A and B are shown apart, each in its own frame.
Chain A
């Protein structure tokens, strides 16, 4: 029986320069930040990142890891503009495929379905088609209109964070929004999951627990036990996002050595040290869920 447990370092050792890597979550929500921090610690570079971006994208840009970004937005929501992503774009430092949020969904869906594209009206008439000459219009076999052929976005690897997982890769998300994590997982050749709690598979037998398992374990390649591994992003209902931490992170972008200082304090350490430096596991689990 497969035992998919591994460490963050094991995951990053599977990643290669030039790979296309999808990152689950949405803005400041349920990002696999422990895995992102492990990439930041590694020599990995020149990656293509596909994400509904938040500080995951900002940090990878700040550290010079990103060759190309496939995105619809990068934002921390309550801090609308992600400062390090913004700086990277304004320097012309990254290639981009800027598309609509729903086009990103369709591209992942197409990859999971193993079809080359999905037709859609989304993008028609906009500069999304101008800045992405690779996205084509196609004739329909059924009507007289042209449609946008949103190309599949196959991923070499997907990184996602979940509430609970077992050693076989059964993953549970109890938050009210799955975001597009199931689509990232199915679009990927390999999926590496970090989990707040590593549990015995019998947990999923109880009550309605199995209803919160949103993809098949065959689509999970590796499981990393990372308590509070989404911090500073949220992992509802376990903890909210860390407003104070994000403010400190964003304020640093206004200082010439801001990223270097953030890196030294919060990245150049072990995850245990990281958790201690952000106040400890109990403090993270006490972070309130956001109210809008």
Chain B
């Protein structure tokens, strides 16, 4: 399968992530999550809310890249302070791209290394991950599935909370945590195994469950039957063309 075909397939799979969410803010950070949210809002869950990725809510998804004559169909203001009002109210499902993810679903975009005072690689900082992860649903997109991302131990800096009971404060339970899906260049996974173990849901064509396990630093729950990620439909491809007219998604899986 060519990379271009694969990225379209991953976007269309990821578009299902919000299908049962009702009227929530769908935030996709990065081109694949954003296009997935756009497809979902345009065809699967039309009650979703999205922003123009700047400061307004829009009544239909905004195409990525230069817009030509297209004018964003603004619905309301949505500056950063108001985003936090939404986040803390819980009516949001974000799809984000962490640098590390561990078996508990804890994720990291802050720093790499074992000395916090002197990181081997300093990245962004924890950004909004702590607040997102304790407030609303989250899914992950990982362009290059490998044990460097899906680490064997704990992530180097726990920026978002996962299914790890010993980290809970008194009075809190794992029911407060809602990590939905992981979409990678190899597979679709969720946290539906025993005790929230990461479970293989589907593999992309030509990928075996063993290859996914080999590229993951912790044991996966692999059911007897694993689906194959479906190909995009002509209607989905037409929507992708509408929301990504400049084909900025090409190369989004890196490699």
Residues of A within 8 A of B (CB): 26, 71-75, 80-81, 85-86, 89-92, 98-103, 105, 120-128, 130-131, 137, 143-147, 175-180, 183, 290-292
Contacts and interface: CB of A to CB of B under 8 A. Distances in A.
Contact of B80 (A85, A103, A180): A180
Given A105-B84, A125-B134, A81 B123 contact: yes
A85 B177 CA distance: 32
Contacts of B162: 125
A80 B56 CA distance: 22
A73 B170 CA distance: 29
Contact of B131 (A81, A103, A137): A103
Interface stretch (B6-14, B113-121, B237-245): B113-121
Given A102-B88, A125-B168, A177-B54, 14 more contacts: A75-B124, A86-B122, A100-B130, A121-B135, A125-B158, A125-B164, A125-B167, A126-B129, A145-B171, A146-B171, A176-B77, A177-B80, A179-B79, A291-B65
A123 B123 CA distance: 19
A150 to B, nearest CB: 11
Interface string B75-88: 00101110010011
Contacts of A26: 80
B53 A124 contact: no
24 contacts: A81-B123, A81-B124, A86-B123, A90-B119, A100-B129, A120-B88, A121-B88, A121-B176, A122-B88, A122-B134, A123-B131, A125-B158, A125-B164, A125-B167, A125-B169, A126-B129, A126-B133, A127-B159, A131-B116, A137-B169, A143-B171, A176-B77, A291-B67, A292-B54
B226 interface: no
A126 B161 contact: yes
A100 B128 contact: yes
Interface string B127-149: 11111011100000000000000
A123 B130 contact: yes
A175 B176 CA distance: 36
The 9 closest A-B CB pairs, nearest first, are A145-B171, A125-B161, A176-B55, A92-B118, A177-B79, A292-B53, A73-B125, A89-B122, A100-B130
Contacts of B161: 124-126
Contacts of A98: 110, 125-126
Main secondary structure, interface of B, reads: loop
A101 B175 CA distance: 24
A132 B162 CA distance: 19
Contacts of B176: 121
Q: Give the bracket for the number of chain B residues in contact with chain A.
A: 35 or more
Given A92-B117, A127-B158, A146-B171, A101 B127 contact: yes
A100 B83 CA distance: 14
Given A73-B125, A125-B167, A145 B172 contact: yes
A80 B134 contact: no
A255 B191 CA distance: 45
Contacts of B159: 126-128
A102 B87 contact: yes
Nearest to B54: A292
Interface string B203-237: 00000000000000000000000000000000000
Contact of B124 (A80, A103, A144): A80
Interface centre among B77, B87, B161 (most CB of A within 10 A): B161
A178 B81 contact: yes
Contacts of A73: 124-127
A99 B126 contact: yes
Interface string B34-69: 000000000000000000111110000000111100
A197 to B, nearest CB: 22
Contact of B130 (A71, A74, A75, A128): A128
Contacts of B128: 72, 100-102
A176 B127 contact: no
B157 interface: yes
B185 interface: no
B27 interface: no
B95 interface: no
B79 A89 contact: no
Contacts of B117: 92
B186 interface: no
Contacts of A91: 118
A144 B84 CA distance: 25
B65 to A, nearest CB: 7
A235 to B, nearest CB: 14
B169 A146 contact: yes
Nearest to A131: B116
Contacts of A90: 118-122
Contacts of B67: 291
